[in-house]
A and B are shown apart, each in its own frame.
Chain A
Amino acid sequence: MFKKTLNTEDTLKNSGLTDEEQQLFSNARPQAYEPYPIKAVEDFANWARANSLWILAFGTGCGAIELRPLMTARFDANRFGVAGRPTPRQSSVFVIGGYASVKTLKRIIRSYEQMQGPKFVIALGICPVNGGMYFDSYNTVNQFDQYLPVDLYITGCMPRPEVLVAGIMELQKKIKAGECNGANLYVENFDWYKSNQKKVIKNWDMPDYNW
Chain B
Amino acid sequence: MTQLTGHSSALDFAQPEPVDMASGKYVKLWQGPQHPGITGNMSLELTLDGDTIIDCKTHVGYLHRGFEKLMERRSFIQNFTVVCRIAVPEPTFNEYLYSHAVEQLSGIKIPERAIWLRTMNLELMRLASFLMWIGGMSGAFGQYTVPNWTTAYRDFVLDLFEEMTGARIYHMYIVPGGVRAGLPDGFEKRARDIMDGAEKLLDQVERVMFNNAVFKARSKGLGIITPDMIDPYGIVGPNARACGVERDIRKDEPYLAYDQLNFETITGKDSDAYERAYLRLQETRQCISLIRQCLDKAPKDGPFQADMPNVLHWKIPAGETYVKAECTRGEYGYYMVTDGSEFVRRVHVRGPSYTHAIAVMERLAVGNNIADIAGLMVSLHTYPPEIER
User: A residues touching B (Cβ–Cβ < 8 Å)?
Assistant: 56-62, 64-66, 68-69, 71-74, 84, 86, 88, 99, 101, 103-104, 107, 111, 133-134, 136-140, 157-158, 160-161
- B-side contacts of A64, CB under 8 Å: 40-41, 88
State whether the Cβ of B62 lies closer than 8 Å to any Cβ in chain A.
yes
By beta carbon, the residue of chain B nearest A160 is B168
**Could you pull out 11 A-B pairs where Cβ atoms are within 8 angstroms?**
A59-B41, A60-B62, A65-B89, A68-B147, A72-B151, A74-B155, A101-B62, A136-B73, A137-B66, A138-B69, A139-B64
State whether the Cβ of B29 lies closer than 8 Å to any Cβ in chain A.
no
- B-side contacts of A69, CB under 8 Å: 151-152, 154-155, 158
- A-side contacts of B152, CB under 8 Å: 69, 72-74
A107 with B65: CB separation less than 8 A: no
Are A101 and B61 CB-contacts (below 8 A) given A66-B169, A88-B34? yes
Most chain A beta-carbon neighbours within 10 Å: one of B34, B40, B85, B151: B34
- A-side contacts of B148, CB under 8 Å: 71-73
User: B residues touching A (Cβ–Cβ < 8 Å)?
Assistant: 33-36, 40-41, 61-66, 69-70, 73, 81-82, 85, 88-89, 132, 135, 147-148, 151-152, 154-155, 158, 168-170, 385
A62 with B64: CB separation less than 8 A: no
B40, B64, B73, B170: the one within 8 Å of A101 (CB): B64
A103 with B34: CB separation less than 8 A: no
- A-side contacts of B61, CB under 8 Å: 101, 103
By beta carbon, the residue of chain B nearest A58 is B34
Most chain B beta-carbon neighbours within 10 Å: one of A62, A64, A133, A160: A62
Most chain A beta-carbon neighbours within 10 Å: one of B33, B62, B69, B151: B62
B40 with A59: CB separation less than 8 A: yes
9 nearest A-B residue pairs (beta carbon): A72-B152, A58-B34, A86-B36, A104-B62, A62-B88, A73-B152, A158-B169, A72-B151, A57-B36
- A-side contacts of B64, CB under 8 Å: 101, 103, 139
- A-side contacts of B70, CB under 8 Å: 134, 136-137
A107 with B169: CB separation less than 8 A: no
- B-side contacts of A60, CB under 8 Å: 41, 62
The smallest beta-carbon distance between B24 and chain A, in angstroms, is 15
- A-side contacts of B40, CB under 8 Å: 59, 64
By beta carbon, the residue of chain A nearest B36 is A86
Are A101 and B132 CB-contacts (below 8 A) given A69-B154, A72-B148? no
By beta carbon, the residue of chain B nearest A72 is B152
State in angstroms the CA–CA spacing of A43 and B81 once bound together: 46
State in angstroms the CA–CA spacing of A56 and B65 once bound together: 23
- B-side contacts of A101, CB under 8 Å: 61-65
By beta carbon, the residue of chain A nearest B35 is A86
State in angstroms the CA–CA spacing of A3 and B385 once bound together: 42
- A-side contacts of B63, CB under 8 Å: 61, 101, 104
